[in-house]
Chain A
Amino acid sequence: MAGACRLMADFLLELRSEEIPARMQAKARNDLARLFAECTAEAGLATGPMETFSSPRRLVLIARDVADATQVSREEVKGPRTSAPPQALEGFLRKTGLAKDQLEDRDGVYFAVIERAGRPAAEILGDIVKRIVVDFPWPKSMRWGSGDLRWVRPLHGIVAMLGEEIVPVEIDGIASGAMTVGHRFHHPGAITVGGASDYAQKLRACHVIVDQEERERIIREGAAAAANSAGLQLLEDEGLVVENAGLTEWPVPLPGRFDDDYLDVPREVIVLTMRTNQKYFACTNDQGLLAPAFVCVANVAAKDEGAAIVEGNKRVLAARLADARFFWEQDLKVPLEEQAKKLSGIVFHEKLGTVADKVERVAKLARWLVESGVVQADADQVERAARLAKADLVTGMVGEFPELQGVIGGYLAAAQGEPQGVADAIRDHYGTPSAPISVAVSLADKLDTICAFFGIDLKPTGSKDPFALRRAAIGSIETIITNGLRLGLTEAVRGSLAIRAGQVSEATAAHRLDSTADELLAFFADRLKVQQREAGVRHDLIDAVFALGGEDDLVRLLARVNALQQFIRTEDGADLLTAYKRAANILKKEKWVGPQVMSSADEHGIPQTGEEDPLVLVDDPIVGQAVAEMASGEVGAELPEEKALIAALDAAESKAVAAVEAEDFTGAMAALANLRRPIDDFFDHVTVNDPDAAKREHRLNLLMRFRDAVNQVADFSKIEG
């Protein structure tokens, strides 16, 4: 290797600033590594492995084995002919940065030979540091003082050293050096580092642990030990571990307790207020119940072992919990039914009325889900739960902790004597529940949101989905599928739209009902594909079943899709699909639309509106029978393969229909599988495009019958491959 004899040294970069938000540090480390790797690769500077570190006040990169210079390089560039116009030559000189007499004339063509001396690494690294600082992709950055430089918070120092030498660089008045600072309070003065080799040790001596993973370990183990020392278990929370590591340079986990009285407040509230407001860990006792204790993580080894810090934190937490308890006690006094009345003062959406209007719709829809047999539950309890489900939005508790909507309502309902099923439904309706009452309320709530917004033409477009309708649709789908709900989506969607239409006076609402229902079904089909992708279900198979029309029962639809997916994986299935495509292609090429009914009647013939089945309108039973026979292909069958196919179709069609009827989709597929041999034989031995028009017509009709028979199970034309 060319670099083997070169000198190598480790490179240290520390970018020291005011406190970097904890949540930004992980990405910052990755960005630093990526930018450094990109820049060194571009400059041709060889480096060994890299490590990055972060703390609240510093972002650090150490690159091992950095070459002391780039290699000498020689590059020949072909230029214009010597006879070319002067502009061409000028352009070439500009591009290469050479003068005319430095070019070589080789057989009437200019050549530039560009020799690059190896550049010293220090010089390159200086440029790289500058570029990294200027281009750094912070999620949010700022200016400070009178300068123009942007960084996440004011940048104060740059340590850039290759081996023991300072890499000189200056950015907006900040010059690099070997000086940094230790812990803000333990070692406020400057310290000088010797390079990458002693950087971490020197800082550790000054109460700074540079490696975030080590800080995380101290917090994780220290917090657990602190809880254990009090005879408790830590409620593990890796997010809090990482966040506290991002807030400290010298983490010290400290245990504290709070007053037992606060345990009256719902557990979720206590855990949430400790976690989000204070970054404390919660603890449980040996029965798994919440203990009146916490673990906080200080950033200092305090003189009094942290007694004052724990005392202070206890008081802050007590104040927060007192506040929470105040709201809780206030909320307990007001029946949810009373709170629900206040929902008429909250606008759900300017065009969709108030939250009370929404609740009214959800209550009706939820009740309908029970009365139509989709969900087996007590209709009155379902309606009750629906009417109370949003009442907690006006409670003081949810005002303080919006993320606890539902949870608070559930606690209040239980405390105010509502049946447990009703309380659970209030608590769980935002998610994808499984208890019957909860399922009815949850599904009604989501369907209403989706249908109401579609009804006023506020549909998700591209990346924009401001009302989270996609998420609501996925939630509905999951609720339907996991609970095996037998629900005709069309009916449900139309019902939901009609309830909404009943609330508005505009005549247009009813008018839009038809087109909106179709849009909604397409939207659900789309979401179903997304939702099923993870389960490995092919989107084209979902299309194939949806395309049949009328299939809007998701449970049945998925059973059908799954059977189809199994089937086309088999040899029979794959082969039948090929035959199907062949038949469909022939029919398409011949523009074959079926038995020629019109030609068999007189000029005025059978009136066709394009929608009704023409056969229905045939008064004459003889004509009707003739047309049916033509469609069946029985008339005019000559060859054995034709007759065999007809016989197979006769058997398969009725079997498939019966199986579909019985929702035995595997059976329906098996019925289709019986067509494989006859259709293959038909293609092998029968010429469809017979010169005899009658034979041709007959055979095309037979192919059509085959295609339609297959289509009864799924629209195979939608299947890819």
Chain B
Amino acid sequence: MSLSFQDLILTLHRYWGAQGCVILQPYDMEMGAGTFHPATVLRSLGPDPWRAAYVQPCRRPTDGRYGENPNRLGHYYQYQVVLKPSPNDLQQLYLGSLAEIGIDPLKHDIRFVEDDWESPTLGAWGLGWEVWCDGMEVTQFTYFQQVGGFECKPVTGELTYGLERLAMYIQGVDNVFDLKFNDAGVSYGDVFLENERQMSAYNFEVADTQTLFDLFRKAASECERCLEAKLPIPAYEQAIKASHVFNTLQARGVISVAERQAYIGRVRDLAKAACGAWLERAA
């Protein structure tokens, strides 16, 4: 029997826990990708070794489809693994995790397809691949080169599994809401369908744009206050907050193409300053 959604997570936890990763719980803030978690961004900077794995809910307001699209969600989960320095056998370890969740590489077509990763809002980039399983992207695999505009030395290897896609694949399901969440008859839709409907309505129709613009400004200025107080972690949290508010503003369609760059630049400056402060403090 194929793994339920929650057993998939538990299997990955056990596997990566055995590789010396600390198994963290999701960060308690809204963010667009597991990469934004301080356990990835801040810990990838500086010389200290670090291994962590965690699930992170990702909020992508513009991707919401009121629960009507079988593949798109405004809120979904990523399974994030970071290993620093990246070990020589990282690909092997990763393939080991696929075997663990039931993917036989002699029955399926596993491929590493070039996909360079860049996060303009984090001032970060790395080289790597999207990993394909029978033509489906199941994981983003990246060797970080820069984060917050700073060189990563040593290099962190980052694996980001798209949990819903992976689970759909393993369970042979075509609609994300039909996923078995557990083995006791609860589906993904039972847990999240109403959530998708309401959050789509909020993000696309209801969210008050004036309030959001205001929140953006406040988060940015709070970030700057924290930087002055030499507190990189709360400063970085405010940068994450600003980033999420910006994403919601985009979903509301009130940010023009020209303004978009300016907002991204603002968030990047905040994130970079927080990363700089983190490095200074660590030094």
Contacts and interface: CB of A to CB of B under 8 A. Distances in A.
Nearest to A153: B127
A467 interface: no
Contacts of B112: 18-19, 56
B70 A319 contact: yes
Interface stretch (A86-94, A310-318, A518-526, A546-554): A310-318
A247 B85 CA distance: 27
B256 A312 contact: no
A589 interface: no
Contact of A323 (B72, B95, B105, B135): B72
Contact of A300 (B106, B145, B256): B106
Interface in B90-127: 91, 95, 104-114, 116, 126-127
A302 B104 CA distance: 10
B69 A145 contact: no
Contacts of B154: 145-146
Contacts of B88: 145, 154, 156
Nearest to A186: B106
Contact of B135 (A144, A304, A317): A317
Interface stretch (A68-76, A281-289, A344-352): A344-352
Contacts of A186: 106
Contacts of A114: none
A299 interface: yes
Which of A144, A154, A312, A346 has its CB near the most chain B CB atoms (within 10 A)?
A144
Nearest to A174: B88
Nearest to A319: B71
A184 B98 CA distance: 14
A260 to B, nearest CB: 17
A23 B116 CA distance: 13
B110 A142 contact: no
B174 interface: yes
A247 B114 CA distance: 9
Nearest to B113: A247
Contacts of B128: 153
Interface string A173-192: 00000000000111000000
Given A317-B135, A323-B69, A347 B258 contact: yes
B83 to A, nearest CB: 10
A313 B134 contact: yes
Contacts of B95: 184
A302 B145 contact: no
A346 B85 contact: no
Nearest to A313: B135
Interface residues of B, number: 42
A325 to B, nearest CB: 11
Which of B86, B135, B253 has its CB near the most chain A CB atoms (within 10 A)?
B135
A304 B114 contact: no
A23 B128 CA distance: 14
B135 A142 contact: no
A23 B114 contact: yes
A273 B135 CA distance: 12
A316 B136 contact: yes
Given A142-B127, A315-B174, A278 B107 contact: no
A308 B136 CA distance: 13
Nearest to B69: A326
B107 A304 contact: yes
B96 to A, nearest CB: 11
A308 B135 contact: no
B119 to A, nearest CB: 16
B17 interface: no
A185 B91 CA distance: 12
Given A154-B88, A300-B105, A300-B109, A19 B129 contact: yes
Contacts of A346: 256-257
B109 A309 contact: yes
Interface string A7-44: 00000000000110111000000000000000000000
A651 interface: no
A145 B70 contact: no
Contacts of B163: none
Contacts of B71: 319, 322-323
Contacts of A19: 112-114, 129
B106 A21 contact: no
Nearest to A148: B153
A36 B104 CA distance: 40
A312 B110 contact: no
A316 B107 contact: no
B133 interface: yes
Interface string A290-332: 0000001011101110001101110111110011001000000
A449 B72 CA distance: 37
Given A309-B134, A312-B133, A302 B108 contact: yes
Contact of B111 (A156, A299, A326, A347): A299
A142 B258 contact: no
Interface string B151-177: 001110100000000000100001000
Nearest to A308: B107
A347 B69 CA distance: 30
B87 interface: yes
A655 B136 CA distance: 74
Contacts of B85: 144-146
A318 B256 contact: no
A464 interface: no
Nearest to A24: B114
Contacts of B86: 144-145, 154
Contact of A296 (B107, B110, B135, B143): B135
A315 B136 CA distance: 9
Contacts of A582: none
Interface string B127-143: 11100011110000001
A604 interface: no
A638 B143 CA distance: 91
Nearest to A142: B127
Contacts of B153: 143, 146
A173 to B, nearest CB: 9
A204 B87 CA distance: 29
A348 B63 CA distance: 25
A21 B115 CA distance: 9
Interface in B208-261: 253, 256-258
Contacts of B91: 18
Interface string B63-90: 0000001111000000000000111100
A185 B134 CA distance: 14
Which of B86, B87, B114, B157 has its CB near the most chain A CB atoms (within 10 A)?
B114
A143 B155 contact: yes
A140 interface: yes
Contact of B134 (A56, A143, A312): A312
Nearest to B115: A21
Contacts of A278: 135
A347 B257 contact: yes
A609 to B, nearest CB: 48
Contact of A345 (B109, B116, B126, B256): B256
A362 B53 CA distance: 55
A303 B106 contact: yes
Contact of A21 (B87, B108, B114, B155): B114
A172 to B, nearest CB: 12
Contacts of A299: 109-111
Nearest to B126: A142
Interface string B245-283: 000000001001110000000000000000000000000
23 contacts: A18-B112, A19-B113, A142-B145, A142-B155, A143-B155, A144-B85, A144-B157, A145-B85, A146-B153, A146-B155, A184-B95, A247-B111, A296-B135, A298-B109, A299-B109, A300-B105, A302-B108, A303-B106, A309-B107, A312-B169, A316-B135, A323-B72, A345-B253
Interface of B: 69-72, 85-88, 91, 95, 104-114, 116, 126-129, 133-136, 143, 145, 153-155, 157, 169, 174, 253, 256-258
Given A18-B91, A154-B88, A308-B107, 12 more contacts: A156-B88, A184-B105, A184-B110, A185-B106, A303-B107, A308-B108, A312-B108, A312-B133, A312-B134, A313-B134, A316-B134, A323-B71
